[in-house]
Each structure stands twice: as structure tokens, then as C-alpha cells.
Amino acid sequence: MKRTLLRRIIGVSSISLISLMAVNAYAAGYKLEFQSASVLGDAGDAAVVEDASTNWYNSAGLPYVPRQVALSLIDVYAPTTFSGTVFAPSLLGSFSGNGSASSHPNNVLPALHVAYPINCKWALGLTVAPAWGFSENYGNGSVLRYDLVYVNTTSMDIAPSVAYKLNDQWSFGIGPDAHYFLVDSKQLARLTTTLNGQSRYRTSDWGWGGHAGVLFRINDNTRIGLNYRSKMVMELNNGFSDLSFPAAFTLATGIPSVRSNSFKLRVVLPPTTTLSFYHDMTPCWALMGSIAYDQWSVLRNYYAQNYQSVPSIANPTGVLPAVYVQQDMSNTFDLGFGTHYKLNPSWMLRGSVKYEPTPTQNRFRDVNFPDGSKLGFQIGARYTICKGIALDMLYGHVFVNTAHIGLTQPVTAVTVNGHNRTSVDLFGAQLVWNV
């Protein structure tokens, strides 16, 4: 009986890691676009060139920006609700639940942008900002607790740049990206009708990539920008994985809590290419738009090493040296269109709309990764406080298509049927200071 129970718990642990890896790949793969309250407000991205945040969206615009610092804060509130049924079989008491589970993550995302022109030809830039991330917390008592309790990520990208203005039409920018990424995730493990274990892992590390951009000014009123951010392979090697049991369970079965301090997780962040246009219709009114090609197809699978499972006769250390799951995500095109209007010397109004399809495949969609296509609307304004100091303000709402879930996990036969509903509200501010 004990040996059969060990095999069952090992199976649960393996599938649990695969599900959580999907969550964290979503965490890594979810492209945060909240580096600047001004650019998000009008969707100019690689062509707008309004302030120092152009270093992130297209560093080729730096020669047209004065010596400047931009500090951005964007609050992202993204409530998610699952409704449906969950069935988790167990030798010592299966779980069957019907209902809903809600998560209410609220994160404030800061960003720093610096532009430093050297002369009329050369300029330097620096951005420190989050680039990828995700957060959910359904709690220990939710119907989803055997799939996910919480997942949190910390992301920071440091992007220095150098830019060169060839002539009045062409300019170029390039630079490296140093990216830090941390994942912390937890779920419960079904033991008996009255006892639960806890599975958790946490890992982090640095990765490297690069960015390059081109800006072409057709004339003083019209410009086109092209920006590329490279793929980054994040080998998260500084982590641990543990599986802990209540004392009563350990006493009854002889199975101790276990831990591995060499847990590793491989996450691939896809490359993105953005093409943008900007045109002044009048001295007060401008139109702009962007199309971004996200190469999610590089996310073919997720891979983890040294995941801590339950020790057994076949695996006395309890460590699973390799866990692999296929994803086969699809490349996507994101579309954005916006405008701004200079009401008077002090005020400029902004507005934009953006559509982002989901890269996920239906056959791999689980409750841990309920991504849907998104349609977002943003409005904003810039108030010039005095010469050289301006304040940007932003509000946005994102509608997310309902993600339908209908999946039975292999080995554990855990079945989840239902749907997830998500929406996003954005509140942002940015201080722009010519120094």
C-alpha cells in the first residue's frame, strides 16, 4: 500500500511541476508593456520620440531628445475568476469541487529612463524597467488549490544604449539587455481527505540579450521607426524545490518532507520586432500606430531540473533530474493605433487602442495558463508644469476574451472543466524632467 501511494504521489508531483511551469512560462512570456505612461497612452512605440522613454521603444530616437530623466509608475490591477469543476483523484480520498476561485493581483510597476545627448550626432540612453511578468494568488482554500495557490515573479531589465544620427533622415540605436528574473510558486498536494502537503519552488538568475532600432524621418511631420528586442534564454539556476508534509502524515507513512537546493528552470523570452509610424496631421493633432511581431514559437517547451519529489525505492533521493513539457506556442501580431492633441501650451491629450491575440494553443490550455486575446483602450494627458518639467497621466482598461478550460491531466487524472474571466485596469503617472 505504501509503495503504491509513493508512486501516486510521485506522479502528482511530476504533473504539478509541469502545470506550474506553464504558469511561470506565462509569467515569463507575458509581455509587459507598461514601461512608459506616455507611450502607452498614444501607442507610438518605435516612432513617437516624445521623451527619454524612447530608449526602451526605439533607442534610435535618442539624438532628438534633450538631456532628460523620465520616471514612470503604472499600477496594474488584473482580477481573474475561474468558474467550473475540479476533480483530483487520490488513493486515500479523492477531491471533487464545483465553484469559483478568484485572484486579485495588484502590482505597481516602476521604470526609469535616461537620455543623454553627447553632441548633435551621438547620444546615450538607459532604461531600468520590468519587461516580463505575471502574478496570481488564489489562496490555500480555493477550489484550484491542487493546481495553484500562488505564483509571483520579479523581473528587471537593464538596457543601456548608444545612438547615432547619420543625417536629418536616418538615425540608429543599439545596446545590450541584462535581465533578472525570479519565480516563486506554491500549490497544495492532495494526501488524504483531511491532510494536504505543500509543494513550492523558487528560483532566479540573470540572462542576456540585446536591442537595436532604426528611425527614418521622411520630413518634419512624418517618421517611421523599427525596433528589435532579441530572444533571451533565462537559465534560472539559483533556486530550491521542496515538498513538505504534515507531521501526522509523516508519522503514519514514514514519508519525510524533502527539499532540493539545486532546482533549475529554463524559460525562453521571445524576440519582438516593432514597426511604428507617426504623422502630424496639423500643428496640434498627430496620428500614430504600431504593429509588433512576437515570435512566441521559440517557446516549444519548458524544462526543469532537480525538482524535489517524494523518495521511493525506485528513486531514493526523491529528485527528478529532468521534467519536460511541450507547449508549441504560435507567433502573433499585436496592433495598436493612437492619437494625441495639443489642447494648449500646457495640456496635451492622448488616446489609443490595442489588440493582442493569444499565442497559446487550445490543446495545452490549462487553468494555470488561461490566456485569452486582449483588446485595450487607453486615455491620458500630459501637463507641462513649467519649462523642462512635465507630468503624464494614464488610465486604461483591457478586455480579455474568456478562456475555456477542459483538460484531464495525464497520470494524476486531475480534471478541470470551466472557464476563466480576466480584465485589466491601468493607472499610470510619469514625471519628465529636462536636466
Domain positions in the chain: 2-434
Closest CA to 270 of 140, 395, 132: 132
Q: Alpha helix locations (H) across 47-106? A: 54-57
pLDDT band at 84 (very low <50, low <70, confident <90, very high): very high
Q: Which three cell numbers stand for residue 265?
A: 528552470
C-alpha 388, offset from chain centre: 33
* pLDDT value of position 409: 63
Query: What is the sign of the dihedral through the CA atoms of 70, 219, 214 and 48?
Result: positive
Predicted confidence (pLDDT) per residue in 212-270, tens digit? 999 999 999 999 999 999 999 999 999 999 989 898 888 888 888 888 899 999 988 89
pLDDT band at 93 (very low <50, low <70, confident <90, very high): confident
CATH number of 2-434: 2.40.160.60
Q: What percent of the chain has pLDDT over 70?
A: 88
At 395 the three-state DSSP class reads strand
User: What's the average model confidence in pLDDT over 59-86?
Assistant: 94
Separation between Cα atoms, residue 14 and residue 16, nearest integer Å: 5
Separation between Cα atoms, residue 410 and residue 325, nearest integer Å: 12
* Predicted confidence (pLDDT) at residue 21 exceeds the cutoff of 60: no
Stretch among 174-178, 192-196, 340-344 having the lowest mean pLDDT: 192-196
Mean predicted lDDT score pLDDT of the chain: 86
Closest CA to 269 of 172, 344, 179, 190: 179
DSSP structural state of residue 46: T
Separation between Cα atoms, residue 336 and residue 255, nearest integer Å: 55
Instruction: Identify the bridge partners of residue 194 per DSSP, sorted by sequence position.
Output: none
Report which of residues 120 and 417 the model is more confident about: 120
Predicted confidence (pLDDT) per residue in 358-373, tens digit? 888 877 777 667 788 9
Q: What percent of the chain has pLDDT over 90?
A: 57
Give me the count of residues in the chain: 435
* Predicted confidence (pLDDT) at residue 175 exceeds the cutoff of 90: yes
User: What's the average model confidence in pLDDT over 169-190?
Assistant: 93
Separation between Cα atoms, residue 129 and residue 111, nearest integer Å: 4
* pLDDT value of position 392: 97
Largest CA distance in the chain: 80
